[in-house]
Amino acid sequence: EKAAAEKAMAEKAAAERVAAEKGAAEKAAAEKAAAAEKAAAERVAVEKAVAEKLAAEKALAEEASAEKAAAEKKAAAAAERAAAEMAAEKVALEKAAAAKAAAAKAVEEVAAAKAAAAAAAAEAKAAAA
């Protein structure tokens, strides 16, 4: 009986040890799984943050590019306007120069006519004398 009792005790102790080892292994596996899940969640959060940052940077770059294009367009339009104004000014100056030349020519023609009239008068005077 004593031997049987000892055997039963030993078997019980072995079963308890196996159960304890199984429990410890299960706990370790659960902890490992939880840690892996946490790491995965953190990685997802980091990737999301990086993607959001990239998207924000892209949006800023696009906005800056659009603003730059608008500014360049404005500058080009201003340059065109300035060129058109300069061309108009040049035309006006040329017209003024032509008018001045025409006036000078008219003055010369009047002077020539006066001189011719004076010469004719002098000839008539000479003929009369």
Residues 8-58 have pLDDT tens digits of: 999 999 999 999 999 999 999 999 999 999 999 999 999 999 999 999 999
**What confidence category does residue 129 fall into, taking pLDDT thresholds of 50, 70 and 90?**
confident
Q: Cα separation of 93 and 85, whole Å?
A: 12
Task: With cut-offs at 50, 70 and 90, classify the pLDDT of residue 89.
Answer: very high
DSSP 91: H
Average pLDDT over all residues of the chain: 96
pLDDT at 69: 97
pLDDT-based confidence at residue 1 (cuts at 50, 70, 90)? confident
CA 64 vs. chain centroid, Å, equals: 3
* pLDDT at res. 128: 85
Q: What would the pLDDT profile of 48-86 be if each residue is shown by its tens digit? A: 999 999 999 999 999 999 999 999 999 999 999 999 999
CA–CA dist 74, 39 (Å, integer): 52
d(CA 88, CA 32): 83
